Structure 1
Amino acid sequence: MTTDRIIRNILIVFILIANIGCDQISKRIVRDEIGEYETISLVKDHLTLTKVENTGAFLSVGSTLPDSIKFFLLSIVPLLALSFGIVYLLRRKNLTWVSSLALSFAIGGGIGNIYDRVVHGSVTDFLHINLGPLQTGIFNMADVSIMVGMLLFFVQSLINKKVITSRLR
């Protein structure tokens, strides 16, 4: 393995750990300091903290499934996918830095939420944005990491599409 590859993989692991760490630290503070369904306004009513324990996936999808099926679908399957993603990320030689960064954010966020689900039985969500017509569900820092990763992929694909389109002209 070359020195460049070793440095690249160390940076990837650092980004993964940073994403997981930020997520877990923020959730721990919320679990310790905010009561269930308590709402704290940070920026008027535009950004609030509201602690919710989500036993399902995105927007509580799957929360009413039987426990064994829920554990398999929301913990085991994603854990296998994320494990594959880590191996892919560390072994793949031709990934761009943007792709590596995007995958690191998405995988780090996914690990943060799976950790919660396995250790605590639910995922702690606490952030809510209300900008008039733009309103979010309640989410956490792992969700932010996942969305940043997806946004990076989207921007990279737009840039690549423009580059390819301009070369075809």
Structure 2
Amino acid sequence: MNRNLFITLLIVFNIAIDQTTKVMVRADIKLGEIIELVGDKFILTNVYNKGAFLGMGSEMNPTLRLIFLLILPTIVLIYVTYYIIKTKELDRLSLIAFCCIVGGGIANVFDRIVYGKVTDFFFIDLGGIFKTGIFNVADISVTTGMIMLLYSGIFNNKKNVKTSDS
């Protein structure tokens, strides 16, 4: 498959999955409603987040929120998209990771442009072991992409060290 087509399809897939789930949540779950999927361990809800990750920045004045949650992320997403299209040396895992990050980022920026806030709806609480804030599919895409990039960086570093030691 053509590399640029692959990049485009992966970014669009991430955006489409996120936006589809948000449309379903906004249509089927009342604001603030809690639906227990697995007891109180995995919950669906419907909340709006004017801020970024875990609501950070939601208390900023509107001008700062516009700059830090809309304009700067848009510039970064444009740059990262340009980077992954132009940098042909990226390994496949890094390319997929960047596409997930860009797709998730675009999906949340889209929400901020269209709705002025982001729809979040997943919550996980595994007792004292693991507990999240309320998040969405775009957040999963960005987080997964970051984890993949870290893995790719560590894996590629180990491979480069072995090659230089030989």
Q: Smaller-chain TM-score range?
A: over 0.9
Residue 159 (1) aligns with residue 155 (2): yes
Residue 158 of structure 1: CA displacement?
A: 2.1
Residue 110 of structure 1: CA displacement?
A: 0.3
CA distance, structure 2, for counterparts of residue 87 and residue 76 of structure 1: 17
Residue 26 (1) aligns with residue 16 (2): no
SS at match of 1:131: coil
CA distance, structure 1, for counterparts of residue 150 and residue 72 of structure 2: 25
SS at match of 1:105: helix
Amino acid across the alignment from 1:122: K
1:1-169 to 2 correspondences below 5 Å: 7-133=2-128, 134-167=130-163, 168=165
Amino acid across the alignment from 2:150: F
The alignment of Structure 1 onto Structure 2 pairs a total of residues equal to 164
TM-score, normalized by length of structure 2?
A: 0.94
Residue 161 of structure 1: CA displacement?
A: 2.9
SS at match of 2:125: strand
Residue 163 of structure 1: CA displacement?
A: 2.1
Residue 25 of structure 1: CA displacement?
A: 0.4
Residue 141 of structure 1: CA displacement?
A: 0.1
Q: Once superposed, what is the RMSD of the aligned Cα atoms? A: 1.3
Amino acid across the alignment from 1:95: L
Spell out structure 1 runs of 4+ moving beyond 6 A.
Answer: none
1:42-88 deviations in whole A, cap 9, x for unaligned?
A: 12222110111000111111111111221111001100110111111
The percentage of counterpart residues that share the same residue type is: 38
TM-score, normalized by length of structure 1?
A: 0.92
Q: Unpaired segments of 5 or more residues in structure 2? A: none
Q: Unpaired segments of 5 or more residues in structure 1? A: none
Residue 123 of structure 1: CA displacement?
A: 0.4
